[in-house]
Amino acid sequence: MKRKILKMGTRGSALARAQAEQTADALRRLHPGLAVETVVIETSGDRFAAGPFQKAAGDLAGDRGVKGLFVKEIEQALLEERIDFAVHSAKDLPEQLAQGLIVGAYPEREDPRDVFVGRPGVSWADLPPRAKIGTSSLRRKLQILAAHPGAVIVALRGNVDTRLRKISLEGLDGIILAAAGLRRLGKNDVAADPISPEIIVPAPGQGALAVEIRAGDLELRDALKLLDHPRTRLEVECERAFSAESGGGCSSPVGALARAENAGLSLRVFWAAGENSPVRRWMKTCLDARRWTELAAEAAQAVKP
């Protein structure tokens, strides 16, 4: 590409910066001589969506939900051309992007599953009857309780390192994390039990990254083609379409995992109207992956009352 320097926007957490730098490294390998500068941007979500500020975040969220607060300032920087592209966790990206922006690339996906990290001697397979499990995800909470009705769910916030420390500090039997987050942070020494999607369906887009750019930046769109992973794009777009169709991600906990194989596509979903509502699950394989939008719509129709 003609440009020799690109500015990359990202949130400031250790995980956000690690996955952004991994994306930048991939771009540098694909385009030798390219320099990528990191621009750290604090978002409204970073300021308001934790602890006692969570309600304020919900009040501010608007029609794109709380997830929109974690990209608002980054998307504004893109539109104002203060950065050239942004790297997001795909699961944190609202289904509706700001006008004029697109996902220019989905790099190849990491493991999309959730994992259980237990205190010494405790694994997901042998949880005690009243196991104390840390998570602040309602999607995870409802599915944990479906598998282990006696479990006690403890609200858990903070970055990955903080959550890992709280296992001992708060006397937990274990916590639930995303497998991809541990891998991207290089925490391969953490003993983590992968949980089957049949038990806990991951969040839509979990394990994938999304590179957001201006729709009119044709040079960058072309430069990102080699970074875009077609299978990952197909799977994540199907999951995001289900989330949008079902109204998930705002007040409704939702899970979705699409898997492309040969010419077909399977979609497994989880949905609930809220914390005290019945949970619904659905799974189907479509023999023609090109009909992924129809599959997502059918899933949404199947789970919503």
pLDDT in tens, 107-132: 999 999 999 999 999 999 999 999 99
Which of 191, 210, 13 has its CA nearest to residue 94?
210
Do residues 186 and 129 lie in contact, with contact meaning Cβ atoms separated by under 8 Å?
no
Whether 85 and 217 map to the same domain: the answer is yes
Residue 200 lies in a domain: no
Question: What is this structure's pTM?
Answer: 0.92
Whether 17 and 27 map to the same domain: the answer is yes
Tally the residues of the chain: 305
Whether 158 and 274 map to the same domain: the answer is no
CA angle (56, 207, 266) in 5-degree steps: 110
Whichever domain contains 28, its CATH number is 3.40.190.10
**137 alpha-carbon distance from chain centroid:** 12
Do residues 224 and 211 lie in contact, with contact meaning Cβ atoms separated by under 8 Å?
yes
Can you give the pLDDT at residue 276? 87
pLDDT at 55 over 80: no
| Continuous H helices in the chain | 14-30, 44-48, 54-60, 65-69, 72-79, 138-147, 160-169, 179-184, 218-223, 230-246, 292-303
Query: Tokens standing for 32?
Result: 């030798």
pLDDT at 60 over 60: no
Name which of 57-61, 89-93, 240-244, 271-275 the model is least confident about.
57-61
- Catalytic residue, chosen from 92, 114, 173, 217, is 92
pLDDT at 46 over 80: no
Residue 2 lies in a domain: yes
Whether 145 and 279 map to the same domain: the answer is no
Whether 167 and 99 map to the same domain: the answer is no
Distance linking the first and last C-alpha atoms of the chain:
50
Can you give the pLDDT at residue 65? 60
Can you give the pLDDT at residue 57? 43
Can you give the pLDDT at residue 52? 47
**Taking each helix axis from N to C terminus, what angle separates 160-169 and 14-30, rounded to the nearest 10 degrees?**
140
Give the side-chain half-sphere CA count within 13 A for 37: 9
Which of the four pLDDT bands, split at 50, 70 and 90, describes residue 43?
confident
Can you give the pLDDT at residue 249? 57
Whether 45 and 99 map to the same domain: the answer is yes
The model's pLDDT over 135-157, given as tens digits with 9 standing for 90+, comes to 999 999 999 999 999 999 999 98
Can you give the pLDDT at residue 58? 46
Query: What total number of domains does the chain contain?
Result: 3
Cα 34 to Cα 7, 21, 25, 223, distances in angstroms: 11, 14, 10, 11
Percentage of the chain modeled with pLDDT above 70? 93
The model's pLDDT over 280-292, given as tens digits with 9 standing for 90+, comes to 999 999 999 999 9
Which of the four pLDDT bands, split at 50, 70 and 90, describes residue 105?
very high
Whether 103 and 128 map to the same domain: the answer is no
Domain span at 267: 229-305
Can you give the pLDDT at residue 68? 77
Residue 189: active-site member: no
Tokens 């922006």 correspond to what residue?
A: 101
Average pLDDT for the chain: 92
Which of the four pLDDT bands, split at 50, 70 and 90, describes residue 274?
confident
Which of the four pLDDT bands, split at 50, 70 and 90, describes residue 48?
low
Whether 174 and 138 map to the same domain: the answer is yes
Do residues 192 and 179 lie in contact, with contact meaning Cβ atoms separated by under 8 Å?
yes
Residue 203 lies in a domain: no
Residues 96, 22, 259, 281: is their CA dihedral positive or negative? Answer: negative
